[in-house]
Amino acid sequence: MRMTSQREIILEELKKLKNHPTADELYLVVKKRLPRISLATVYRNLEQMSEAGIIKKLEYSGRQKRFDGATHPHNHIHCIRCGRIADVKTRPGNSVHSIIKDAAGFQVIDDQIEFTGICPDCLTTENMGNSH
């Protein structure tokens, strides 16, 4: 895949963001650097870079696609209150792939595991609301 200047800027901006943005959210950031870029161009480039393995596309049922500039193997956790998505860091040797290989004998090629919970900010807000 040829890295056009538009793709490079989209990728740079995606890697700066740690919130796993939607295409619309990333478009608003990229538009500051490339005022003439269209939303369709951002969508198309994200899809192409995802298919090429340059970025990760996060697709979970019932929610808008999000994109991740970090392609190393890792999982995500989603806050059921505010929608925030964060990376889940696991210890080496405790990977889901090794657990599946040990349990079922499969060699895992890819995975997309998402944990759900309540993020620290929402927990703090919830606890503050309960303290009255």
Per-domain residue ranges for the chain? 1-71, 72-132
At 125 the pLDDT is 85
> What CATH number belongs to 1-71?
1.10.10.10
Return the CATH number of 72-132, one of 3.30.1490.190, 1.10.10.60, 3.40.50.2300, 3.10.560.10. Answer: 3.30.1490.190
Q: For the whole model, what pTM was predicted?
A: 0.77
Angle ∠(119,22,115) on CA atoms, nearest 5: 35
Residue 100: what pLDDT?
A: 75
Q: How far apart are CA 118 and CA 28, in angstroms?
A: 27
- pLDDT tens-digit series, residues 100-121: 777 788 877 777 777 899 999 9
Q: What is the rounded distance in angstroms from the CA atom of residue 97 to the CA atom of residue 76?
A: 15
**What is the tens place of the pLDDT at every residue in 49-105?**
999 999 999 987 677 899 999 988 788 888 999 888 888 876 655 567 677 777 788
Query: How many CB atoms within 10 Å of residue 42?
Result: 25
Q: Number of C-alpha atoms within 13 angstroms, CB side, residue 84? A: 15
Write down the pLDDT at residue 63: 78
